[in-house]
């Protein structure tokens, strides 16, 4: 793929605009931004983005790169997919189709897109689809919604879709891998997976169709009401939320996502004007789905069906949301209303109201737990405590925890101290806590203190050239305790010596062709330095430079002294008196030099 395409895409897509679609960033100095890293768990932001340099880097886990590197890492794409995705986003027409661009995943995406268009056209135009159009009309689905959501119909024929896609030039093997067909039980050939079903295309967060949900429209009772595409290279139900591509902007703006169960619940809400709504496709929310939502908001509101399955799904979703520090509420639908779709059809004006009145999770837990319990029965009291105490232990705020302990104590007529003793038994052990901390530390790059000092000095030299003369006069390359940093420092000093001045952009250009990885390292280091010294005044920074120079020189001399001590012992053991005298003299010189460093 020509480099021109890549550079054109980079020029048209600003890295800050792109990354804001995935993570919530805050300004950190001039043209820099910071965020919690999406690639490892952290509570203090160490993920930095530079608008000037158009790069990102996490100083916690060490990941970094440009817009292509971010999309590849975040979306799990290969480079050809990332290239096509970003080219489409930038409005760049790829100059020619390299065979590597048309990889297996992109083939499947093209097949699924063609299938969605086929199903949609059948629904709109085919005479045999009239009963489906009538069904949607009865359910209150408008023509605009049918068009916007690309709703379709899979006809009765055994291989109607397969034949159509083959005629379009797609290979039967690839159609099978897309999840749209099944191999025949006998003989060779393929059958359509979806037949006589209302089809809901399921898109990824960027709006690309990646799979389908199909609702059965026949009279037979022994057929599954809903079936989904199987897991494929491009579709994983656990990583996908129906409607997120259409809801994400409103979710970000309102700082809240409403999670419903079914396709029709989601569609009806959007049609009614409440568009910060996504569907979990009839299953409990998964950890990956929760993390996907966290790109856009930290506030979730659950609106699951009013039955035991819906209650269980809500609780599992709440647990997962808590694990990633998300705020959660639960919508309580009016009596005799089984799901959001039914409420919207009968009383559309009430849907925004019930969302606004969403109940706190703890109140929901109390109400749903007590609903089928008798507080006069000892066994029921024990069961209530068994259900609610583990939930209360997960409350981080001690005031909130005490409030609900007191509430439970009053309901059960049991002394609060008894409940606290129970909580202690349920609390995670220090051993578990220690393990968790170790895992957290393993995800973080811990650097040698002197490497950090050296990086700080080299970073200051590049971003604040007024200190470069002092640094280059007092810090020798051998003082730098890291090979790559030493190489960068040498390049800085050579450039400065030749030019008698330092311009960062010209410097980067001068080393990019020779060593692009060194140029990237320089960009990352300068971005970190800009952030670190953002609020430091000139005099404080000067003292920081002097202190850093002293520490590096002292460390270098001390390391040499240790080496000479070893050599003196070896020379003594071997009886080399002249060597002992020579090394001792050098030891004395270095000791004197060390005292002079201040």
Give every CB contact of residue 557 below 8 A, 6+ residues apart in sequence: 590, 593, 594, 597
Q: Candidates 3.40.640.10, 3.90.980.10, 3.40.50.300, 3.40.50.720; correct CATH number of 105-235? A: 3.90.980.10
Within 8 A by CB and 6+ apart from 128, the residues are: 155, 156
* Look-up of token digits 């509420």: 329
Is 69 in contact with 51 (CB distance < 8 Å)? no
Distance CA 69, CA 423 (A): 46
**What is the CATH number assigned to the segment(s) 239-359?**
3.40.1360.10
Q: pLDDT tens for residues 224-259? A: 999 999 999 889 888 899 999 999 989 988 999 999
Are 551 and 535 in contact by the 8 Å Cβ rule? The answer is no
Q: Summarize pLDDT for 286-330 with one digit per residue, the tens.
A: 888 988 898 888 899 988 765 544 566 667 778 788 777 788 898
Where are the strands (E) in 230-352, listed by range? 257-260, 277-279, 299-303, 327-330
- The torsion angles phi and psi of 572, rounded to 5 degrees, stand at -65, -45
- Alpha-carbon distance 24 to 26, whole Å? 7
Q: From its phi and psi, is residue 283 left (phi > 0), alpha (psi between -120 and 50) or beta? A: beta
| Paired residues of 153 in beta bridges | 198
HSE at residue 177, side-chain half, CA atoms within 13 A, is 15
Cα torsion angle, 248, 249, 252, 256, sign: negative
The domains of the chain are located at 3-90, 105-235, 239-359, 373-431, 449-595
Provide the pairing of β-strand 327-330 with 299-303: parallel
Residue 276 · residue 256 · CB < 8 Å: yes
List CB contacts of 512: < 8 A, sequence separation 6 or more.
519
Helices (H), 443-482: 449-463, 468-474
- Please give the Cα distance from 22 to 9 (Å, whole number): 19
| Count of residues making up the chain | 598
For 287, the enclosing helix (H) or strand (E) is: helix 287-294
Cα→Cα distances 257→114, 298, 301, 323, Å: 30, 8, 6, 17
Confidence at residue 60, expressed as pLDDT on a 0 to 100 scale: 86
Cα angle for residues 328, 331, 337 (degrees, 5° grid): 160
- Identify whether the C-beta of residue 341 lies closer than 8 Å to the C-beta of residue 351: no
- Which residue do the tokens 């359910």 mark? 139
Largest alpha-carbon pair distance within the chain?
106
Instruction: Please tell me the distance from the alpha carbon of residue 187 to that of residue 107, in angstroms, as a whole number.
Output: 26
d(CA 279, CA 340): 11
Q: What is the pLDDT of residue 311?
A: 61
Note the Cα 141 to chain centre separation in Å.
Answer: 34
Q: Which helix (H) or strand (E) holds 343?
A: helix 340-346
SS3 175: helix
CATH level 3 topology of 3-90: DNA Primase; Chain A (3.90.580)
Compute the distance between CA of residue 471 and CA of residue 416 in angstroms, rounded to an integer.
Answer: 64
- Choices 3.30.2010, 3.40.50, 1.10.860, 3.30.465: CATH for 449-595: 1.10.860
3-state secondary structure of 426: helix
Over its C-alpha atoms, the chain yields an Rg (Å, rounded) of: 32
Q: Is residue 422 classed as helix, strand or coil in its secondary structure?
A: helix
Question: What token pair was written down for 22?
Answer: 């995935």
Place of tokens 């060779």: 188
Count the alpha carbons within 13 Å of 21 in the hemisphere toward its beta carbon: 17
Confirm if 426 and 385 have CB atoms less than 8 A apart: no
**Helix, strand or coil for residue 153?**
strand
CA angle 142–227–103, rounded 5-degree value: 95
From first to last of its 598 residues, what are the pLDDT tens digits of the chain?
A: 456 788 889 989 999 999 988 888 999 877 899 999 988 878 889 999 999 889 999 988 888 999 999 998 888 777 888 888 899 889 888 765 555 445 778 889 999 999 999 999 999 999 999 999 999 999 999 999 999 999 999 999 999 999 999 999 999 999 999 999 999 988 789 999 999 999 999 999 888 999 999 999 988 888 899 999 999 988 988 889 999 999 998 998 899 999 998 899 999 999 999 999 999 875 678 888 988 898 888 899 988 765 544 566 667 778 788 777 788 898 888 888 888 999 999 999 999 999 999 988 888 888 878 888 998 899 999 899 888 888 888 776 688 788 989 999 999 998 988 888 887 776 544 333 333 333 333 344 445 788 889 999 999 999 999 999 999 999 999 999 888 999 999 999 999 998 888 998 899 988 887 788 888 889 889 888 888 887 788 889 999 999 999 989 988 988 888 888 888 888 888 888 888 888 888 888 888 888 787 6
Phi first, then psi: what are they for 198, rounded to 5°?
-75, 125
Alpha carbon distance 531, 536 (integer Å): 10
Distances (CA, A) of 362 to 124, 327, 355, 387, 411: 47, 12, 17, 12, 14
Give the pair of three-digit tokens for residue 410: 């009053």
């Amino acid at each position: 793929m020509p480099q021109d395409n890549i550079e054109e895409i980079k020029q048209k897509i600003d890295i800050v605009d792109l990354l804001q679609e995935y993570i919530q960033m805050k300004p950190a100095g001039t043209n820099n931004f910071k965020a919690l890293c999406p690639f490892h768990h952290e509570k203090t932001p160490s993920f930095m983005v530079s608008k000037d340099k158009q790069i990102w880097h996490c100083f916690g886990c060490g990941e970094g790169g440009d817009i292509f590197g971010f999309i590849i890492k975040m979306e799990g794409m290969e480079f050809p997919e990332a290239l096509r995705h970003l080219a489409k986003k930038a409005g760049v027409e790829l100059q020619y189709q390299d065979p590597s661009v048309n990889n297996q995943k992109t083939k499947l995406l093209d097949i699924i897109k063609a299938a969605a268009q086929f199903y949609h056209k059948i629904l709109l135009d085919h005479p045999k689809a009239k009963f489906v159009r009538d069904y949607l009309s009865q359910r209150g689905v408008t023509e605009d919604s049918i068009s916007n959501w690309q709703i379709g119909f899979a006809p009765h024929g055994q291989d109607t879709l397969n034949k159509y896609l083959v005629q379009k030039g797609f290979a039967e093997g690839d159609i099978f891998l897309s999840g749209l067909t099944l191999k025949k039980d006998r003989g060779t050939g393929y059958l359509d997976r979806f037949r006589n079903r209302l089809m809901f295309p399921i898109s990824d967060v960027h709006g690309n169709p990646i799979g389908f949900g199909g609702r059965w429209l026949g009279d037979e009772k022994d057929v599954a009401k809903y079936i989904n595409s199987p897991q494929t290279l491009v579709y994983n139900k656990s990583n996908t939320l129906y409607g997120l591509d259409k809801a994400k902007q409103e979710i970000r703006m309102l700082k809240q996502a409403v999670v419903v169960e079914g396709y029709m619940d989601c569609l009806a809400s959007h049609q009614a004007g409440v568009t910060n709504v996504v569907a979990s496709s009839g299953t409990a929310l998964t950890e990956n789905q929760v993390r996907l939502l966290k790109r856009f908001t930290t506030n979730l509101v659950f609106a699951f069906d009013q039955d035991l399955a819906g209650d269980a799904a809500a609780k599992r979703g709440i647990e997962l949301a808590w694990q990633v520090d998300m705020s959660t509420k639960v919508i309580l639908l009016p009596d005799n209303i089984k799901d959001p779709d039914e409420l919207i059809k009968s009383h559309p004006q009430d849907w925004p109201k019930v969302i606004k009145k969403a109940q706190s999770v703890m109140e929901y837990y109390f109400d749903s737990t007590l609903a089928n319990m008798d507080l006069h029965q000892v066994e029921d009291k024990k069961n209530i405590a068994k259900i609610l105490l583990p939930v209360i232990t997960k409350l981080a705020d001690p005031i909130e925890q005490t409030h609900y302990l007191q509430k439970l104590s009053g309901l059960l007529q049991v002394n609060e101290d008894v409940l606290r003793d129970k909580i202690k038994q349920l609390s995670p052990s220090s051993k578990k806590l220690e393990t968790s901390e170790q895992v957290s530390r393993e995800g973080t790059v811990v650097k040698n203190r002197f490497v950090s000092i050296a990086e700080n000095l080299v970073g200051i030299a590049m971003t604040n050239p007024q200190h470069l003369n002092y640094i280059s006069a007092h810090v020798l390359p051998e003082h730098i305790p890291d090979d790559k940093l030493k190489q960068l420092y040498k390049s800085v000093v050579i450039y400065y010596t030749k030019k008698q001045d330092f311009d960062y952009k010209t410097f980067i250009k001068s080393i990019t062709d020779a060593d692009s990885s060194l140029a990237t390292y320089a960009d990352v280091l300068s971005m970190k330095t800009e952030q670190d010294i953002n609020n430091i005044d000139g005099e404080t920074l000067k003292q920081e430079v002097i202190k850093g120079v002293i520490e590096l020189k002292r460390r270098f001399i001390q390391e040499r002294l240790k080496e000479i001590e070893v050599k003196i012992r070896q020379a003594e053991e071997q009886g080399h008196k002249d060597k002992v005298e020579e090394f001792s003299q050098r030891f004395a010189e270095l000791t004197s030099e060390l005292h002079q460093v201040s």
